[in-house]
Chain A
Amino acid sequence: MEIIYIAILFFGFLAGEAKSLKFSILSLIPHSLFIVIVVFIIGYVNNIPSLYLIAVLDLIVRAILMPILLLKCLKNRVETETKPSISHPLSIALSIVLLSIGYNFVEMFKSSYIPHVISSFSSGLTLFLYGFYLFISKRDILKMMISFFIIENGVHFLIISMIPRMPKFIEISVTVNFVVAIIFLVYISLRLNEIFVKEEIEKLKESSSQRS
């Protein structure tokens, strides 16, 4: 199980730090697939059949629908990210430190304060913190959406870790909210891309008319 959690963090790291936006979005697919596997395993080990439903929902929303929607945002724009506020090598180093130390620190917190909670807690909180770091360090609209996705996956894991005593309706509603938010973000992003393209075309026209 520990290996799967590390794989989730690793693919989250790739999605956050890859310069190519397409590669970032594609990294979210294995990241989400591992989340689906974890939800299935937790459901099987703890004998909670309702988690199978949530795993299927995750498969549809997180592993299929979200990457498709995010890939749509690449339309009409360059596929490399806008320069982030923290330089790339430093950001990679910070991410590695945050993910490794963060994960261990959260594990310690969990074992001393809430030992009864399911193991996905540590991975969830680490993802949340890492997503937040990405959110404040990236300037690219699509990268910000990816970091929001990672934060939301972290919250999803945290909710999964308390699912035995929690109404499933709440988890499903939170997922629905997330989908609606992403749809609006994609809509805004696509509209912005269109405007940027129009502006570029106008600039080109102006410069060519000046030359002629």
Chain B
Amino acid sequence: MSIELAPYLFSFIAPFMASLIVFLFGKRRFIKESVSVLSIFLAILSTVLCWNSLSISDKTYLIFGKIFYIDGFSILMQLMVEFVALMVILYSLFYIPKVYNHRKENFHNYYSAILLSTAFMNLSFIFNNLFLLYIALELSTIVAVYVIVFKLNKESLKAGFKYIILINVGILFSLLGIILLFYMAGEPVMISNIGEVIKALHRNIALLSAFLFIVGFFTKAGLIPFHLWLPDSYSESPSSVTVFLAGGVTKLGFYGLVRTITGFSFNYEEIKILVIFLASLSMLIGAIVAFNQRDIKKIIAYVSISEMGFIASALVLKTYEGIFGGVFHLINHTLIKGALFFVAGAIVYSCESRNIENIKKAIGKMPTVITTSFFIGSLAVGGMPLFASFLSSITIFFALTKEGFLWASIVLIVSEFINAVVLLKTGIEIFWNKEKSEVSTTSIPFLMLICTGFFVILLILFGIYPDIIYPLIDSATKGIIRILN
């Protein structure tokens, strides 16, 4: 292994070591907070260094033997997960001690689990060998269950059990797909040569392995019909963890999807149609089911499923615009869900309930940042102009139409509309209700407000000045297309 790889591996090593330190010494004052934040900063630094090396060289990727492969998409995913982890850690500093006070002896384990899961996610983004990618992906999934069941009540334990067993069985299907590719290729399949392997496959075998990958990575991403774990895990876990799940854990499913299924869809029209059909189901069913929910986190969870359908449908398109739109929406989905779930967290923090009827009775005057963030998040879900999601949705819309999937574009627009209506209706019910006590003002810690506001600011900033994020998305898109072509 080359010595020049060492700085890039810091994106894994820093959170991994920090996780051990926090686990062993985290009970001492300030250790868990300072070490966690510092390690994530180090990881971000390492990823930025990697991005810098890639941009100054003529190459579109960095390859280190048969083990590591880093391109624009790997870097984008790492940056996204690191940013989410940082926000989650900062938000948790005040949120967890108040809402989960009964687990105060285990707070250091909470931070340790988040860091460990982040470390394995970062590792999976740079592995070249599909088997190693699977191993890192599964480990990050398993570790995340600890924070899902952090409350340790019946509901959270049931949600955690569902999460771990469904995702583990689901991604074993993708392992079966990897094994099948191995049988056909005669050697372990690498991300760097997967395009060639897919082209050389017998048609029936290719369709079978694509199907196995779809089951595996759709389960991981939480797309319909493999979404059963998602609503419960999102609603029963702490709100900070929900952001981690939506912005990190499910994104691993999309990473796997891009590295494998997109390759099949480039060569087999049937796969593209199947994925777009399932993605459209996710868009529509997610939006419709969200209408019937009375739990604020479940509403956002189903809206999230619906939005992930947009991403999946775009990522299997054969055009640059399609993949670009999908990758852009991947970022926007993280920002929107970050803002919305952090608002939900602030509501739970002040009202101690997720049920809309209870919230309406208990809620006082909320800080402007919280109410504004919720409405901006809702409008962004609807793909309104001025927000980054407008640009990504419109790109996906045109890309789908251009490839002959007008029906899917219509489903996308209809679902966006329903999602926005559901969230706006919920927002109006909660924040503008007449039962609300105008006297009591809810105080939310400043750091929680900053974290929520930061997601919203980025959403607007990328919407008005997309040039800021354009080079990274462009590099990611080119990286994806280069491998698969």
Q: Which residues of A contact B (CB under 8 A)?
A: 113-114, 117, 128, 132, 135, 141, 144-145, 148, 151-152, 155, 158-159, 162, 165-167, 170, 173-174, 177, 180-181, 184-185, 188-189, 191-192, 195, 199
Report if A166-B182 is in contact (Cβ < 8 Å); known contacts: A132-B169, A144-B165, A188-B161: yes
Contact A177-B172, Cβ < 8 Å, known A166-B182, A184-B146:
no
User: When chains A and B are docked, how far (Å) is the Cα of A50 from the Cα of B373?
Assistant: 57
Residues of A within 8 Å of B138, CB to CB, are 177, 181
16 contacts between A and B (CB under 8 A): A113-B205, A114-B184, A128-B172, A144-B165, A166-B188, A170-B135, A170-B188, A177-B138, A177-B142, A180-B139, A181-B168, A184-B142, A185-B161, A185-B164, A185-B165, A192-B154
Cα distance, A188 to B168, chains bound together (Å): 15
| B157:A192 contact, CB within 8 angstroms | yes
Give B187's nearest chain A residue, CB to CB: A165
Q: Which of A155, A173, A181 contacts B164 (CB 8 A)?
A: A181
Residues of B within 8 A of A166 (CB): 182, 188
Who on chain A is nearest to B138 by CB? A177
* Contact present for B157 and A188 (CB under 8 Å): yes
Residues from chain B with a CB closer than 8 A to the CB of A132 are 169
Q: Is the CB of A167 within 8 A of B161?
A: no
Is the CB–CB distance between A180 and B142 below 8 Å? yes
- Complex Cα spacing A177 to B160, Å: 17
Q: Contact: A162 with B149, CB < 8 Å?
A: no
- Chain A CB within 8 A of B380 CB: no
User: Within 8 Å CB of B164, what residues of A?
Assistant: 181, 184-185, 188
**Cα–Cα, bound, A145→B154 (Å):** 18
Quick one: which of B154, B169, B183 contacts A151, CB cutoff 8 A?
B169
Q: Which residues of A contact B149 (CB under 8 A)?
A: 188, 191
Determine the residue in chain A with the shortest Cβ distance to B202: A113
Contact between B176 and A148, CB atoms less than 8 A apart: no
Residues of A within 8 A of B188 (CB): 166-167, 170
* B86-145 at interface with A (beta carbon < 8 Å): 129, 131-132, 135, 138-139, 142, 145
* Closest B residue, CB atoms, query A189: B161
Q: Which residues of B contact A114 (CB under 8 A)?
A: 183-184
Does A135 lie within 8 Å of B169, measured CB to CB?
A: yes
B residues in contact with A184, CB < 8 Å: 142, 145-146, 164
CA distance A158 to B182 in the complex (A): 11
Q: Which residues of A contact B132 (CB under 8 A)?
A: 170, 173
A146→B279 CA distance, assembly (Å): 32
B175 on interface, CB distance cutoff 8 Å: yes
Q: How far is the CB of A44 from chain B (nearest CB, A)?
A: 23
Interface residue B186 (Cβ < 8 Å from any Cβ of A)? yes
**B213: min CB distance to chain A, Å:** 15
> In this assembly, does B17 line the interface, its C-beta being within 8 Å of a C-beta of chain A?
no
- Contact partner of B131 among A170, A181, A189, CB < 8 A? A170
Q: Complex: how many Å from CA A174 to CA B136? A: 10
Report how far A144 CA is from B164 CA in the complex, Å: 11
Decide yes or no whether B179 CB sits under 8 A from chain A: yes
Contacts of B135 in A (CB 8 A): 170, 173-174, 177
Nearest opposing residue in chain B for A199, CB measure = B154
B478 at the interface (CB under 8 A from A): no
Asked if B152 is an interface residue, CB under 8 A from chain A, the answer is yes
Closest to A177 in B: B138
Cβ A141 vs Cβ B161 within 8 A: yes
The smallest C-beta distance from B193 to any residue of chain A, in angstroms, reads 16
B158 within 8 A of A: yes
CA distance A14 to B311 in the complex (A): 43
CB B264 to nearest CB in A, in angstroms, measures 18
User: What are the residues of chain A within 8 A of B142 when measuring CB–CB?
Assistant: 177, 180-181, 184
A191 touches B165 (CB 8 A): no
Contact indicator per residue, chain B 279-304, by CB within 8 Å of chain A (1) or not (0): 00000000000000000000000000
